[in-house]
Amino acid sequence: MDSVLTKTAGAISIVRETETIPVGEIVIKTATGKYICTVCGYVYDPAVGDPGRNIPPGAAFEDLPDDWRCPRCKNDKTKFNKA
Ligand SMILES: [Zn+2]
């Protein structure tokens, strides 16, 4: 990273900017466990759950039953990526 910093003065401010953006927030975002369906773009938000399938708010994606399907396109969990 140091070599990038020394290349141009402009790069320094850009790098510093990304450093100021709390990295912790990104980590927290991942930790909240939103998953996005790669087929239709549906986002599973554990804070919401999936009322249509009796998944209560707070249920992590990992805790969803293996036969859980995307409410929108009916594809299975393997089609989901971490959002
Ligand atoms: Zn889907």
54 C-alpha to ligand 1 centroid (Å): 18
For Cα atoms 50, 56, 62, give the angle at the middle one, nearest 5 degrees. Answer: 75
Per-residue pLDDT tens over the stretch 22-51: 656 554 444 568 999 999 999 999 999 999
33 C-alpha to ligand 1 centroid (Å): 16
8 C-alpha to ligand 1 centroid (Å): 44
CB count within 10 Å of CB 83 equals 15
CA distances from 48 to 9, 22, 34, 54, 64 (A): 45, 25, 10, 11, 13
15 C-alpha to ligand 1 centroid (Å): 36
Q: Which residues contact 60 (CB under 8 A, 6 or more apart)?
A: 33, 46
- Give the strand order in the sheet containing 35-37: 43-44, 35-37, 80-82
Per-residue pLDDT tens over the stretch 45-72: 999 999 999 999 999 999 999 999 999 9
83 C-alpha to ligand 1 centroid (Å): 13
What's the pTM? 0.61
